[in-house]
Amino acid sequence: MYDIAIIGAGPAGSTLARLLAAKYRVLLVEKRNLLAAEQTAAGSKCCGGLLAPDAQKVLGMMSLALPQEVIVGPQIFVVRTIDLQQDCERYYQRFYINLDRAKFDGWLFSLIPPAVDVRLAAFCKSIQQVDSHFVLDILQQGKHFRERARVVIGADGAGSMVRKQFFPVDKKLVVYSAVQEWFSVPEASPYFSVFFDSRLTDFYGWSIPKEDSLLVGAALIPRQQTLERYKELKSKLAAYGYPLQRAQKKEGALIVRPRHAPRLTALPPGIALIGEAAGWISPSSAEGFSYAFRSALAAAKALEQGLDGFVPRYQKETAALRLNICLKNLKLPFMYQPWLRKAVMASGLAAVKVIGQET
């Protein structure tokens, strides 16, 4: 019997497994083969791979420094913000680090001490509560395995099976469909761009240079002509001069947008969610790494004092994170309400004047 089973070895799950290894018998179950992904980028999560200052800060708090091989070019200093609907644009200074997402996940995974039992390419199909513990049904290489644990932590991302199985439906946790393509480009753009157009989505689209590719994507309202709207975005971007001829790869993922702080209490008391599974992600920018790390740190702190009653302690440890989500929600109208956004952009507040691109 394991003390703790963690489902998902993304940034949240790998961080929690690393932090709990010394104190508990931990099982980590991950459906991807992260060792292969590290070398070939196969099975990498669809992501922009930008490490924001908040995430850099938490890495610093955990005494972690990024290895060189995780970083990719170009490093970007301004974000080009285009309102396609109202035909205006501005540039703003930003301090992201451009990452190879597959290598980033592989690096975080490599920090997990050997004391943690890891099952890779293993899909956790379902979880049953039996007396005071949980039984996990795991599918690996076509075979079913059962593992038992006293506590289960769902770190299984936006489409979380653990959330669906154990947490009441939360209508304010909206799940978007993200579509992203990789285009080969003759030269790297010096900007990360974001695109707003409420006729296509009430969230946003983006383009991110990554070595000799340009990633173009959008977070779209699910089941509302997602692919048609993505195509429309691309034709608008082509008209703006974005070179979108040769797509090398198309990928997709779900992306959570929490309209209030996540609800953390489930019916069986020994179960909790961390990272995007819980809804820990910025509703304004979809920055998720800092939230994955911070929620893993909060869960580790709550579990330090024992397994019993850890959920209320986790709830307490995430007070600042919950306030953060509420504040980000207050910021939304200034980014997503077309007339307010236009006013903010027209004011030129905090904008950078890019030489040769003055508007």
Ligand X SMILES: Cc1cc2nc3c(=O)[nH]c(=O)nc-3n(C[C@H](O)[C@H](O)[C@H](O)COP(=O)(O)OP(=O)(O)OC[C@H]3O[C@@H](n4cnc5c(N)ncnc54)[C@H](O)[C@@H]3O)c2cc1C
Contacts of 336 (CB under 8 A, 6+ apart): 196, 198, 202, 203, 204
- Residue 336 or 342: the one with the smaller Cβ distance to ligand X is 336
Number of separate helices (H) and strands (E) present in the chain: 10, 17
In the region spanning residues 131 to 160, those forming contacts with ligand X, defined by CB under 6 A, are 155-157
* Biggest alpha carbon–alpha carbon distance for the chain: 68
Q: Is 307 in the site for ligand X (CB under 6 A)?
A: no
Binding to ligand X in span 315-354, by CB under 6 A: none
**Is 148 within 8 Å of 117 (Cβ atoms)?**
no
Exposed e or buried b per residue across 208-232, where buried means at least 16 C-beta atoms within 10 angstroms of its C-beta: bbbeebbbbbbbbbeeeebeebbeb
Binding segment toward ligand X, per CB under 6 A, in 40-48, 67-75, 237-245, 301-309: 40-48
The distance of closest approach from Cβ of residue 251 to ligand X in the complex, given in angstroms and rounded to an integer, is 8
Q: How far is CA 82 from CA 204, 231, 240, 340, 341, in A?
A: 10, 17, 10, 14, 11
Which of 6, 27, 29, 303 is in the footprint of ligand X by CB under 6 A?
29
Q: Please answer whether residues 280 and 13 qualify as being in contact, where contact means their C-beta atoms are separated by less than 8 angstroms.
A: no
Residue selected from 97, 161, 220, 266 as contacting ligand X according to rule CB under 6 A: 161
Question: Taking CB under 6 A as the rule, does residue 275 contact ligand X?
Answer: yes
The residue number whose beta carbon is nearest to ligand X equals 288
Site for ligand X in 167-206 (CB under 6 A): 178, 180
Q: Is 52 in the site for ligand X (CB under 6 A)?
A: yes
Measured from the CB atom, the residue of 43 and 338 that comes closer to ligand X is 43
Regarding 124 and contact with ligand X (CB under 6 A), the answer is yes
Only one of the segments 197-205, 223-231, 287-295, 318-326 lies at the binding site for ligand X (rule: CB under 6 A); that segment is: 287-295
* 288 is a site residue for ligand X (CB under 6 A): yes
* Buried b / exposed e along 238-273 (16+ C-beta atoms within 10 A): eeeebebeeeeeeebbbbbbbeebbbbebeebbbbb
**Residue 220 and residue 229: Cα distance in Å, rounded?**
8
Q: Which stretch binds ligand X (CB under 6 A): 110-118, 279-287, 303-311, 330-338?
A: 279-287
Interface residues toward ligand X, by CB under 6 A: 7-13, 29-32, 45-50, 52, 55, 123-124, 155-157, 161, 178, 180, 217, 253, 255, 275-277, 281, 286-289, 292
